[in-house]
Amino acid sequence: METVIAINKCQLSRKLFRYCFAVLLAMSASLAFPVNAQQEEDVLQEEALIKSAFVFNFAKFTSWPEYTWDFNNTEFFLCTVGKDDVAKTLNGLTGELLNKRVVQVLNFDEDAVDNACNLVYIANDPSVNLAKFLKSHCCESILTVSDIKGFALSGGMIEMYTDSKGSVQFKINRNRVILSGLNISSRLLSLAEIVKEEQP
């Protein structure tokens, strides 16, 4: 009944339209205020969420050699090495579908990971020995991703970084990708900065 009255009033004039506007605004506001107050947003957390979405997209636009799926064609193993906000947030991808495969997230503290991993995110964590990790997993069909500065130039595949305007961008070390037998789609390549290692 209230609703009908409100509508009829609105037909009368623009003054009443503004009145309706004000009343409904007050209604919206009254709904809005009792919300439990959790204090200011954690900017780093927001960035981690964005980067996690990037990691998901990297997997989406990459194809693995067919033999990768010979033994397990139903799960996609997304692994993390070390601890940082992104590694933590990536756990939220568990259960997502990637090319009809269910994402499983595995966390590793050390620089050795399970061979089942299809993608490894290397955390910005001083306890991880990046050089050793990259050396020991060179040329395996594992997509390596990190936001460690210089990652792509030191043998990693995809490096995320924040540009001067505050947007997340990424670099791809294409030679490493080719060496590992992975295939990154042209769409992903067209959005990336392509870097070359001096001695791949």
Question: Is the Cβ of residue 137 or residue 171 nearer to other proteins in the bound state?
Answer: 171
- Residue 137: name the closest of 104, 158, 113 by CA: 113
Task: Tell me the C-alpha distance between 82 and 60, whole Å.
Answer: 23
By CB under 8 A, residue 115 contacts other proteins: no
By CB under 8 A, residue 140 contacts other proteins: no
Which burial class, exposed, middle or buried, applies to 107 when counting CB atoms under 10 A from its CB (0-12, 13-18, 19+)? middle
User: CB 27 → other proteins: shortest distance, Å?
Assistant: 5
Of 12-20, 68-76, 108-116, 143-151, which part binds other proteins (CB under 8 A)?
A: 12-20
For residues 189 and 174, is the Cβ–Cβ distance under 8 A? yes
Task: Tell me the C-alpha distance between 181 and 2, whole Å.
Answer: 66
Q: Report 16-35 residues binding other proteins (CB under 8 A).
A: 17-18, 20-21, 24-25, 27-29, 31-33, 35
| Tokens read off for 68 | 């990768």
> 178: which residues sit within 8 A by CB, 6+ positions away?
none
User: CB 28 → other proteins: shortest distance, Å?
Assistant: 5
Task: For the chain, give percent helix, strand, coil, nearest 5.
Answer: 40, 20, 35
> Of residues 57, 107, 124, 175, which one binds other proteins by CB under 8 A?
57
> Of residues 59, 87, 93, 120, which one binds other proteins by CB under 8 A?
93
Rg (Cα) of the chain, in Å, rounded? 24
Q: Report 141-200 residues binding other proteins (CB under 8 A).
A: 163-169, 185-194
> Of residues 39, 74, 115, 199, which one binds other proteins by CB under 8 A?
39
Task: Tell me the C-alpha distance between 104 and 165, whole Å.
Answer: 33
Question: Is the Cβ of residue 135 or residue 200 nearer to other proteins in the bound state?
Answer: 200
For residues 83 and 123, is the Cβ–Cβ distance under 8 A? yes
Of 55-63, 65-73, 109-117, 126-134, which part binds other proteins (CB under 8 A)?
A: 55-63
| Total residues found in the chain within this entry | 200
Provide the binding-site residues for other proteins, judged by CB under 8 A: 3, 6-7, 10-11, 14, 17-18, 20-21, 24-25, 27-29, 31-33, 35-41, 46, 49-50, 52-54, 56-57, 60-61, 89, 92-93, 96, 163-169, 185-194
